[in-house]
A and B are shown apart, each in its own frame.
Chain A
């Protein structure tokens, strides 16, 4: 005690205290932080992956995101802290590398193999802490579990359908941007999109929406793809507009064809009467003006 009180006025005492406090906070944060990040922790990156990932990044991404991923003003955002999940989503759905800068970068067939994507994800993930590529147990929900699917449906209609449409068919946003269709998207990419909030999408991290809720939403979407949707041809599941278009084109056309058919057919009896009229009067029945 004596030594401590004697040295508390030492010129370096404040720095020591500050250092200790920071250490405690850092340690606490690291323990708590890792416990919440553990949920999405996957296999650790290997040194080979990091080297390969950096090489791929520098050859294919750095023109917009800069040599070390710190971003270029006006063309590509900084990738420090976006996490491996963002890379896996953006490159895995073919959005990155982008072909051109427009209102929105659209998906296309991916140009990298999954191994290459993993390498780039590992490299970007190492640049700063961010959501990791999720484990399949997180996103592969059971589409036949009624409780899970119905909870997912409620959450989907509350949080997602205003942009993606109730059937996940997609919808328009402002200035030429749009919420894409979710009918073909893989379950992993849906989960990653919720985690990282690509482009205009909000981020649904684990504090906003629990991993179980995210899993339920995915189970619901899978169920609506594979489950019961009776009634016939769905006309794109975009609601009354396609129904109206269908009725005004194909159905109206069909009905008019039938109307013409019925309107054009006159009976044999009346033809016989016309012939009778012409034979008895000697006049042309169709030209009597």
Chain B
């Protein structure tokens, strides 16, 4: 294993008996290639499966770009009306937009067209899923802490851009499902107080649906957002390089080093291999499992709708929030204020996303911790953060389930109304319950770790003493394992001194400090600690076994 603090393993020298390739050695001795690129190619990355989640997003994005280029060669982003006479019989002679007709053409008459469409769509679903799972990994392990707050924000922006990009792509084929989604989007825009109508007319070039939106969306989908994503992904990766990758605590792994394998040749091979694995999975999926059969939906006309009209999964939480919202509306002096659309589609995601974006800064403010962190937290060792995260997942999950309420109703023989009311209660109760349960479980796991550290592992071996006493043999943990379980710091609540000094003058910024202390108390007053005294007592043989 090599570490960045230790000199990188040279071609010869440190490991004198390691054979090197004579050709590259000859070239290197004359050109000095190695010296120049050493920092890049000897960059060390730690090994863990959860560090590969972001790579899934990256590689599926590459596949989206490649298949997307293929699709643009045949897709015609126009609302111009044509009569279809392609090879899909049930739509023969039906009038439709050129966008829809060209998508049918790609699906039925372009060689490998349907495969590429399905690759594009499945890869998009995987891209967003990988982003979210990656983001959860970063959150629960505290990898967003200093110095990685900016990279967290870049990642967050990438997620939001991914959502927009996905929705734009879903809307482009101009099939019945696309149009239904756009109709909802236009309704959401219209619900914005005062400016909504103007914004809607501006975006759609007049009344919905109009003729401008598909061509505009196309430019946004294939040019604007992809360019932003590519730029931000590059920045995201550069920062990972510059700041080095985080690692789990363990023997030899400190806050100042990275223990792992070098980029070249090991990580290049690993990541390259993983890329082809992902390509393989997506192509297999696209070849075997149908996605978005636009021919079944038919062309969009505003007077048609289908039961079970849902967005792709990543917009599902907004669908659910809209579906469970009570029908509140105010009419003030002839102007309608649509809380029934405004709250679920703009306020709820606004709060959710803002919380997500500012979390690193909020947590830093509460803990007051300004140090750099390169060692990851085990989620159990940060019970409150983990509990907040699980509460957030529960909130999102309830919204998500509500988005499929009709399918849950038909598949489980339930009533849609009963489900809606269940979700309305759960959206408040669920996160609170999840917070409480998770915090208790995390603290319980910490106590178990503490028990293992102090008393060792239960071996299951029962000893009978001469006096007839039964005892279980506990095997002490290895030094490495003990280190792994105790490497974390125990965060304690902020203690505030007296609010006024001896002259009765109030401390500056007292109100903010009080708030901080309150938040700190809520988050950290429950904690599990292994004190030095406890440890010494066990070591000295005064322990209870």
**Complex: A163 Cα to B409 Cα, angstroms:** 13
Cβ 8 A contact of A233, one of B277, B288, B405? B288
Within B288-336, the residues touching A (CB, 8 Å) are 288-293, 295-298, 303-313, 316
Q: Are B88 and A241 in contact (CB under 8 A)?
A: no
- A150-B91, A233-B289, A248-B313 given as contacts; is B277 within 8 A of A258 (CB)? yes
Tell me which of A93-101, A170-178, A197-205 binds B.
Answer: A170-178
A109 within 8 A of B: no
Residues of the A chain whose Cβ atoms lie less than 8 Å from the Cβ of B107: 230
Within A116-161, the residues touching B (CB, 8 Å) are 144, 146-147, 149-150, 152-154, 157-158, 161
Interface residues on chain A, number (Cβ under 8 Å): 77
- A147-B92, A167-B296, A285-B1 given as contacts; is B310 within 8 A of A240 (CB)? yes
Q: Are A157 and B290 in contact (CB under 8 A)?
A: no
Nearest-neighbor residue (CB-CB) of A103 within chain B: B415
B274 within 8 A of A: yes
Residues of the A chain whose Cβ atoms lie less than 8 Å from the Cβ of B425: none
Nearest-neighbor residue (CB-CB) of A144 within chain B: B89
B53 within 8 A of A: yes
A282 within 8 A of B: no
**Complex: A228 Cα to B293 Cα, angstroms:** 11
**Complex: A287 Cα to B477 Cα, angstroms:** 12
- A239-B309, A262-B49 given as contacts; is B407 within 8 A of A286 (CB)? no
Q: Are A267 and B266 in contact (CB under 8 A)?
A: yes
Q: Are A259 and B90 in contact (CB under 8 A)?
A: no
Q: Are B298 and A228 in contact (CB under 8 A)?
A: no
Q: List 26 A-B contacts (CB under 8 A).
A: A150-B89, A150-B94, A153-B90, A153-B94, A161-B304, A161-B305, A165-B308, A166-B296, A166-B298, A171-B306, A171-B406, A172-B407, A175-B417, A176-B413, A228-B89, A231-B293, A240-B311, A241-B404, A258-B281, A259-B50, A259-B274, A263-B48, A263-B50, A264-B47, A270-B266, A289-B479
Residues of the B chain whose Cβ atoms lie less than 8 Å from the Cβ of A285: 1, 252
Q: Are B307 and A171 in contact (CB under 8 A)?
A: yes
Cβ 8 A contact of A251, one of B126, B290, B407, B418? B126
Within A233-277, the residues touching B (CB, 8 Å) are 233-235, 237-248, 251-252, 254-256, 258-260, 262-267, 269-270, 273-274, 276-277
B261 within 8 A of A: yes
With contacts A232-B289, A243-B313 known, what are 9 further pairs, Cβ within 8 A? A176-B409, A176-B416, A237-B296, A238-B308, A241-B313, A247-B313, A256-B49, A263-B52, A273-B1
* B interface list, Cβ under 8 A from A: 1-2, 9, 15, 17-18, 47-53, 56, 88-94, 107-108, 114, 118, 122, 125-126, 129-130, 133, 176-177, 251-252, 261, 266, 270, 273-274, 277-278, 281, 285, 287-293, 295-298, 303-313, 316, 403-407, 409-410, 413-418, 478-480, 483
- A176-B414, A231-B118, A266-B47 given as contacts; is B89 within 8 A of A255 (CB)? no
Q: Are A163 and B307 in contact (CB under 8 A)?
A: yes
Cβ 8 A contact of A162, one of B93, B298, B306, B410? B306
Q: Are A241 and B122 in contact (CB under 8 A)?
A: no
A169 within 8 A of B: yes
Q: Are A289 and B414 in contact (CB under 8 A)?
A: no
A224 within 8 A of B: yes
A223 within 8 A of B: yes
Question: Nearest-CB distance from A58 to chain B (Å)?
Answer: 32
Residues of the A chain whose Cβ atoms lie less than 8 Å from the Cβ of B289: 231-233, 235, 246
- A153-B298, A176-B413, A228-B89 given as contacts; is B407 within 8 A of A262 (CB)? no
Residues of the A chain whose Cβ atoms lie less than 8 Å from the Cβ of B287: 232
Q: Are A172 and B90 in contact (CB under 8 A)?
A: no
Question: Nearest-CB distance from B107 to chain A (Å)?
Answer: 7
- A240-B312, A259-B53 given as contacts; is B281 within 8 A of A153 (CB)? no
Q: Are A273 and B292 in contact (CB under 8 A)?
A: no
Cβ 8 A contact of A243, one of B91, B125, B130, B479? B125
Q: Are A172 and B281 in contact (CB under 8 A)?
A: no
Residues of the B chain whose Cβ atoms lie less than 8 Å from the Cβ of A87: none
Q: Are B290 and A235 in contact (CB under 8 A)?
A: yes
Q: Are B291 and A239 in contact (CB under 8 A)?
A: no
Q: Are B261 and A286 in contact (CB under 8 A)?
A: no
Cβ 8 A contact of B409, one of A172, A223, A237, A246? A172
Residues of the A chain whose Cβ atoms lie less than 8 Å from the Cβ of B130: 255
* A interface list, Cβ under 8 A from B: 103, 144, 146-147, 149-150, 152-154, 157-158, 161-167, 169-176, 178-179, 220, 223-224, 227-235, 237-248, 251-252, 254-256, 258-260, 262-267, 269-270, 273-274, 276-277, 285-289
Q: Are A273 and B9 in contact (CB under 8 A)?
A: yes
Residues of the A chain whose Cβ atoms lie less than 8 Å from the Cβ of B293: 167, 229, 231, 234, 237
- A175-B417, A228-B89, A240-B311 given as contacts; is B274 within 8 A of A262 (CB)? yes
Question: Nearest-CB distance from B26 to chain A (Å)?
Answer: 21
Q: Are B92 and A262 in contact (CB under 8 A)?
A: no
| 5 tightest A-B CB contacts, nearest first | A171-B307, A244-B313, A231-B290, A263-B49, A176-B415
Question: Nearest-CB distance from B538 to chain A (Å)?
Answer: 18
Question: Nearest-CB distance from B268 to chain A (Å)?
Answer: 12
Q: Are A288 and B270 in contact (CB under 8 A)?
A: no
Q: Are B306 and A227 in contact (CB under 8 A)?
A: no
- A258-B274, A259-B56 given as contacts; is B93 within 8 A of A150 (CB)? yes
Cβ 8 A contact of B480, one of A220, A270, A289? A289
Residues of the A chain whose Cβ atoms lie less than 8 Å from the Cβ of B129: 247-248, 251-252
Q: Are A179 and B307 in contact (CB under 8 A)?
A: yes
**Complex: A286 Cα to B92 Cα, angstroms:** 69
Question: Nearest-CB distance from A107 to chain B (Å)?
Answer: 14
- A237-B296, A289-B479 given as contacts; is B94 within 8 A of A166 (CB)? no
- A146-B89, A166-B296, A172-B410 given as contacts; is B291 within 8 A of A264 (CB)? no
**Residue from A150, A176, A231, A233 whose CB has the most chain B CB atoms within 10 Å:** A231
- A231-B114, A263-B47 given as contacts; is B305 within 8 A of A255 (CB)? no
**Residue from B2, B114, B404 whose CB has the most chain A CB atoms within 10 Å:** B404
Q: Are A262 and B273 in contact (CB under 8 A)?
A: yes
Q: Are A157 and B306 in contact (CB under 8 A)?
A: yes
Q: Are A223 and B410 in contact (CB under 8 A)?
A: no
**Complex: A40 Cα to B473 Cα, angstroms:** 87
Q: Are A174 and B49 in contact (CB under 8 A)?
A: no
Residues of the B chain whose Cβ atoms lie less than 8 Å from the Cβ of A288: 251-252
**Complex: A239 Cα to B133 Cα, angstroms:** 23
Q: Are A174 and B410 in contact (CB under 8 A)?
A: no
Residues of the A chain whose Cβ atoms lie less than 8 Å from the Cβ of B17: 276
